Amino acid sequence: MTASVSNNPKNRPPENNWRNTLYTIIFEADTPAGKLFDEVLILSILLSIIVVMLDSVSSFAAIYGDLFYTLEWIFTILFTVEYFLRLICVGRPIRYATSFFGIIDLLAILPTYLGLLLPGGRYLVVIRGLRLLRVFRVLKLAQYMGEADLLIRALRASRRKITLFLFTVLTLVVILGSLMYVIEGAESGFTSIPRSIYWAIITLTTVGYGDIVPETNLGQALASVIMIIGYSIIAVPTGIVTSEITYASKYFKGRVCQNCSFEGHDIDAKFCKRCGAKL
């Protein structure tokens, strides 16, 4: 077999025919077998999530409960086998097991086993949805990856500003929530400071369930102030992220090949993909 270019060659096992072939099928998507494997995997993940969702609807569970239960175990056993195959065929199993995707792959099979001990726990298998991220990466949806990269870059660049903003919001809701607790008291539903903070979050974020509502005049006046604060400061994270996205986009879009004036290079490209000139 000629070596296909792997995602991360360091994870590839040393020369060993069957492990190498398995690795190519499971971790890559360049061969027909690898692509088929990934497509079957996406389908299985989606189906197993749908089964669990339907199982939680009591009218469906009453009729098809046994079928759903059987299917769930079939999917779980399949994913368990897959997990061990990944462990076997990868070059450094411990590095894989402790990687972001390795942990998600494990979390995706645990809930069903957990469900044997804790009824209800098995519904957490929807965490399997996160596995789709890996498969999408393997399928190399290149343009989406470029855009995702840009967004992540923008969010990472603004992480400190966002942290400051969230810290301010948290301080605000703690102080305003406690103030409301003192003003309104238990008879309006503000039964404790944590519950009043919960109300302040509902109000500041403009969610407004209406399950707890101020009833005194002073309380309604303070609530009005909180609403207007919440309505105004949403501008801050938006401004931060917009500014970073604009900056990242400009950098991204501004890269034009000096030789052939081609635009739209990948964000990490060093050479023009059309004429090969250095960027």
Of residues 68-127, which lie at the interface with a second copy (CB under 8 A)?
120-121, 123-124, 126-127
For 1-66, the three-class secondary structure string (H helix, E strand, C coil) is CCCCCCCCHHHCCCCCHHHHHHHHHHHCCCCHHHHHHHHHHHHHHHHHHHHHHHHHCHHHHHHHHH
Least separation in angstroms between CB 176 and a second copy = 10
Distance CA 128, CA 111 (A): 10
Least separation in angstroms between CB 127 and a second copy = 6
Region from 10-18, 188-196, 255-263, 270-278 binding a second copy, contact rule CB under 8 A? 188-196
Q: Coil, strand or helix: which one is 87? A: helix
Pairs from 237-241 (Cβ < 8 Å, separation ≥ 24)? 237/162, 237/165, 240/158, 240/161, 240/162, 240/165, 241/154, 241/155, 241/158, 241/162
Least separation in angstroms between CB 271 and a second copy = 22
Least separation in angstroms between CB 201 and a second copy = 5
Using CB under 8 A, which of 7, 242, 258, 259 touches a second copy?
A: 242
Using CB under 8 A, which of 26, 230, 257, 272 touches a second copy?
A: 230
Helix axes 58-89, 32-56, angle to 10 degrees: 150
The closest alpha carbon to 223, from 183, 256, 193, belongs to: 183
Using CB under 8 A, which of 47, 57, 269, 275 touches a second copy?
A: 57
Region from 20-28, 62-70, 84-92, 167-175 binding a second copy, contact rule CB under 8 A? 167-175
Least separation in angstroms between CB 107 and a second copy = 11
Region from 19-27, 49-57, 67-75, 92-100 binding a second copy, contact rule CB under 8 A? 49-57
Distance CA 230, CA 206 (A): 7
Helical spans, DSSP H, in the chain: 17-27, 32-56, 58-89, 93-97, 100-107, 110-117, 131-138, 142-157, 159-184, 193-204, 217-233, 235-254
Least separation in angstroms between CB 151 and a second copy = 6
What is the torsional sign of CA 68, 109, 5, 136? positive
Using CB under 8 A, which of 98, 171, 258, 261 touches a second copy?
A: 171
Region from 21-29, 94-102, 239-247, 265-273 binding a second copy, contact rule CB under 8 A? 239-247
Least separation in angstroms between CB 179 and a second copy = 7
Report the residue number, 33 or 172, with the smaller CB distance to a second copy.
172
237 lies in the site for a second copy, by CB under 8 A: yes
Total residues at interface with a second copy (CB under 8 A): 86
Distance CA 179, CA 197 (A): 10
Distance CA 148, CA 248 (A): 12
144 lies in the site for a second copy, by CB under 8 A: yes
Amino acid, single-letter form, for residue 162:
I
Least separation in angstroms between CB 96 and a second copy = 23
Hey, which residues between 192 and 211 contact a second copy (CB under 8 A)?
192-195, 197-198, 201-211
139 lies in the site for a second copy, by CB under 8 A: no
